[in-house]
Amino acid sequence: MEHFPIVLALLRAAVRDKPATALQQAERLREALRNAGGVDEAKAIDDVIESAKPGSAGKMVPSRVVRSRAVSAGEAMTANTFPPVDKETSAPLAEILTVDRLAELEPPLLNSRLALAVDHLTMQWAGAHELQSAGIKVPRTALFFGAPGTGKTRLALWAAARLGLPVVLARLDGLTSSYLGTTARNIRTLFDFANRYQCLLLLDEFDGIAKLRDDPQELGEVKRVVNSVLQAMDARSPVGLTIAITNHESLLDPAVWRRFDARIEIGLPDASMRQKIIERYVQGFKIKTGAIRVLTWLTDGYSGADIETLCDFIKRHMTLNSKDNPSVMAAVQLFLDLSASNHKNPIREALQRDEAHWFQQALDYHDIKIVQADIGEATNMTQSSVSRVLKRYPERV
Ligand SMILES: Nc1ncnc2c1ncn2[C@@H]1O[C@H](COP(=O)(O)OP(=O)(O)OP(=O)(O)O)[C@@H](O)[C@H]1O
Ligand SMILES: [Mg+2]
């Protein structure tokens, strides 16, 4: 159905605001489509209806877009589809992640610009048929790059879940071999496999292949590997989707870099995203909003994965010591002591110095507003005690 993605987006918005009438119309449309043979479309509408039902709030159902057949050709995978292996060692070259498994994942929280870019990418894939019939090239390759732990892998898996496609996740350890010619052969085998099925090919830690370039002894072999990647990507681009991921984009061969239709940088989360990530990971825990604001300040420079680790620690500490009603900051201090860092970080230094210093730094933070009451909620102190401590700050007038 032409423009179906737009119909779906409209429905999604409508069921959020006015459930009763919108749901009724959504059900009508679903039945009409089903009767007309639009099984995929009817299923996608069903997902939207389900996500609007009471009780499903909080549960993230991937808002499925209807995948155009033009975007991923080939056979459907079954429970009996096994990943390809290295001919000599029988080591698997990839892992297959089924759609059911992917659907359990929550999406990473991204700032609105990034979310829009990713949305655009998946919508293009959903509308691939329209593009193709208009003679427009369908972009099928994307590169995600950026700092470690920022949610790149999670995002790629989420994109596949949205499209209802299983993922063929390349195993770099299985692919690379010290035997001459074997890595190149494995790459060809992997791509041949991916091209045969409807799937999204995910080349995680993609620089693992390009990195070999560092070694001058291996130059001939590296050229061969990079050439195989280039050829394999060119052959794949008319038939299926590929996402490659790297933390070391500068290591990629320029010719490989140019092969990607979309290149998306996933950066460290800003303050408002950090606040949302913290809220997600302390959900269900009685942590006051003021304490969350203080955590947002002190996680400046943290990745999403770092924030998750800190939140897990806080939850563990508060659960194990619940009878003493420990403060959030007591848990944070312990976390910092147990996770020494070799990077210089002014917030960390202030936190490990004395209360007056970190209180003042938190109050001076520009990215979100922190007040004395917030520090009180993070430390279990009254506001007047916070104020007393602050008087000790040497530069305070
Ligand atoms: N933006 C985010 N929102 C929510 N959770 C996040 C975010 N970023 C990271 N996480 C959490 O951190 C975990 C690790 O993220 P992921 O593996 O996707 O990062 P990555 O960018 O691929 O890291 P690496 O470069 O080290 O492979 C995720 O499974 C998720 O739980
Ligand atoms: Mg990753």
Q: What is the DSSP letter of 136?
A: P
Residue 90 clears pLDDT 60, i.e. is over it: yes
pLDDT attached to residue 21 = 74
Ramachandran angles phi, psi of 110, nearest 5°: -125, 155
Give, rounded to a whole angstrom, the gap between the first and last alpha carbons of the chain: 68
Is 108 near ligand 1, meaning CB less than 6 Å away? yes
Is 153 near ligand 1, meaning CB less than 6 Å away? yes
Structure tokens at 128: 């691939």
Q: What is the dihedral of CA 143, 59, 104, 63, to 10 degrees?
A: -50
Is 305 near ligand 1, meaning CB less than 6 Å away? yes
Structure tokens at 224: 């061969």
Q: What is the mean pLDDT of residues 116-144?
A: 85
Average predicted confidence (pLDDT) for the chain: 85
pLDDT attached to residue 208 = 78
pLDDT attached to residue 244 = 94
Q: Pick the closest to residue 272 from 367, 345, 362, 348 (CA basis).
A: 367
Is 151 near ligand 1, meaning CB less than 6 Å away? yes
| Residue-wise pLDDT tens digits, 296-321 | 999 999 999 999 999 999 999 999 99
Is 150 near ligand 1, meaning CB less than 6 Å away? yes
Model pTM? 0.80
The residue whose C-alpha atom lies closest to atom 12 belonging to ligand 1 is 305
Is 208 near ligand 1, meaning CB less than 6 Å away? no
pLDDT attached to residue 58 = 37
pLDDT attached to residue 57 = 42
- Which residues neighbour ligand 2 (ion) by CB within 5 Å? 153
| Residue-wise pLDDT tens digits, 378-396 | 999 999 999 999 998 776 5
Q: Which helix (H) or strand (E) is 332 found in, with range?
A: helix 328-338
pLDDT attached to residue 339 = 87
Q: Pick the closest to residue 294 from 229, 343, 347, 227 (CA basis).
A: 347
Listing DSSP states for 247-281 in one string gives S-GGGS-HHHHHT-SEEEE-----HHHHHHHHHHH
Q: State the distance from the centre of ligand 1 to the C-alpha of 153, rounded, in angstroms.
A: 7
The residue whose C-alpha atom lies closest to atom 26 belonging to ligand 1 is 148
Residue 212 clears pLDDT 60, i.e. is over it: no
Nearest ligand 1 atom, CA 109: 3
Is 187 near ligand 1, meaning CB less than 6 Å away? no
Residue 377: pLDDT band by 50, 70, 90 thresholds? Answer: very high
pLDDT attached to residue 17 = 59
Q: State the distance from the centre of ligand 1 to the C-alpha of 367, rounded, in angstroms.
A: 23
Q: Pick the closest to residue 199 from 229, 230, 156, 232 (CA basis).
A: 156
| Residue-wise pLDDT tens digits, 251-291 | 888 888 888 999 999 999 999 999 999 999 999 888 999 99
The residue whose C-alpha atom lies closest to atom 25 belonging to ligand 1 is 148
Please give the angle made by the CA atoms of 306, 277 and 164, to the nearest 5 degrees: 100
Is 62 near ligand 1, meaning CB less than 6 Å away? no
pLDDT attached to residue 397 = 44
CA dist., res. 260 & res. 391, Å (int): 56
Is 111 near ligand 1, meaning CB less than 6 Å away? no
The residue whose C-alpha atom lies closest to atom 24 belonging to ligand 1 is 148
Is 299 near ligand 1, meaning CB less than 6 Å away? no
pLDDT attached to residue 63 = 57
Pick from 243, 281, 308 the residue to mutate for probing ligand 1's pocket: most ligand atoms within 8 Å of its CB.
308
Nearest ligand 1 atom, CA 105: 29
Residues in the chain: 397
Is 152 near ligand 1, meaning CB less than 6 Å away? yes
